[in-house]
Amino acid sequence: MEIGFIGLGKMGMNMVTRLRQQDHRVIVYDRAANLVKEAEEKGCIGASSLEDLVSKLSAPRAVWVMVPSGAPTEETIDTVSGLLDREDTIIDGGNTKFHDDLRRASNLQSMGLHYVDAGTSGGIWGLQIGYCLMVGGEKAPVNRLEPIFTTLAPPNGWAHVGGHGAGHYVKMVHNGIEYSMMQSYAEGFELMSKSSYNLNLPQIADLWMQGSVIRSWLLELGASALKEDPKLEKLKGFVQDSGEGRWMLMDAIEKDVPVPTLSTALFTRFRSRQEESFAEKMLAALRNAFGGHSVKR
């Protein structure tokens, strides 16, 4: 099958490589010309601009957008939609807020264009393992794109989960669960790191991968990280978030659904970015003020 692909970052490059491994015709564009050249070396057809990319595709066209969420995705889709013809399809594979999918789909439908949102999980390992794809949109364009999804995903690794926005909605919840799982592992390993037993954390992480009820791919990645740096001395405890946890929390509040584990995991990430928390300084000041408790100056 033929597809246009915009965005050749870590995931994008691996995705086009995987597509070429099964001989799909892939036309690529990225603002970084060296990345386009790298993709050409993998068998892709390079484009010098978005206009050039569209001109090299046959109707009905399919263009996959894999750029950072927010303004970059919005601007790219706005530009590409003005270059396409009726019955062409735009696929957003990034981490977009599902409300934006609904708005975009409506706007593109008025132009005669199809819109598919594809929540994509797999990270930098997707090239070898495949990408779990959570796909939202109309049935007809999704069915037409089935060869692309089947190539990118492992066996049984993609599904059409619902209408416009459903793919990114399911991916949002997926990432919220991911936040909570990561936090649970982090807390358990911190406690063990302070045990008087002098525990071998890499060994325990690997042990838990052998049939335990808490085994997972995340734990496997944690075991690898601990083998490389048992005390994680090469890292700072600074943890970013890409937005999905916030969106899930807001959606849960709107629906009166308690998500305390996600809330704690998300707020812990916020705390990790502060050298010193004003709130904790305030706690110290209050304890000193009412009880004369010692403080560090």
| pLDDT confidence of residue 123 | 85
3-state SS class at 101? helix
Tell me the CA end-to-end span of the chain in Å, nearest whole number: 66
Asked about 171 being catalytic, the answer comes back as yes
Are the C-beta atoms of residues 185 and 222 closer than 8 Å to each other? yes
Low-confidence ranges of the chain (pLDDT < 50): none
| pLDDT confidence of residue 294 | 83
| pLDDT confidence of residue 242 | 86
| pLDDT confidence of residue 231 | 92
Asked about 233 being catalytic, the answer comes back as no
Strand order in the sheet with 132-137: 45-46, 25-29, 2-6, 62-65, 89-92, 114-121, 132-137, 158-162
pTM above 0.75?
A: yes
| pLDDT confidence of residue 60 | 97
- Pick the catalytic residue from 2, 51, 138, 178: 178
- Pick the catalytic residue from 138, 171, 231, 255: 171
- CB neighbourhood size of 5 (10 A): 28
Full set of structural domains in the chain with CATH? 2-164 (3.40.50.720), 171-275 (1.10.1040.10)
Residues in the chain: 297
| pLDDT confidence of residue 82 | 97
DSSP 108-163: HHTTT-EEEEEEEE-GGGHHHH--EEEEEE-HHHHHHTHHHHHHHS-TT-EEEEES
Are the C-beta atoms of residues 259 and 176 closer than 8 Å to each other? yes
Structure tokens at 128: 């070898």
| pLDDT confidence of residue 21 | 96
Question: Exposed, middle or buried by CB within 10 Å (0-12, 13-18, 19+), for 209?
Answer: middle
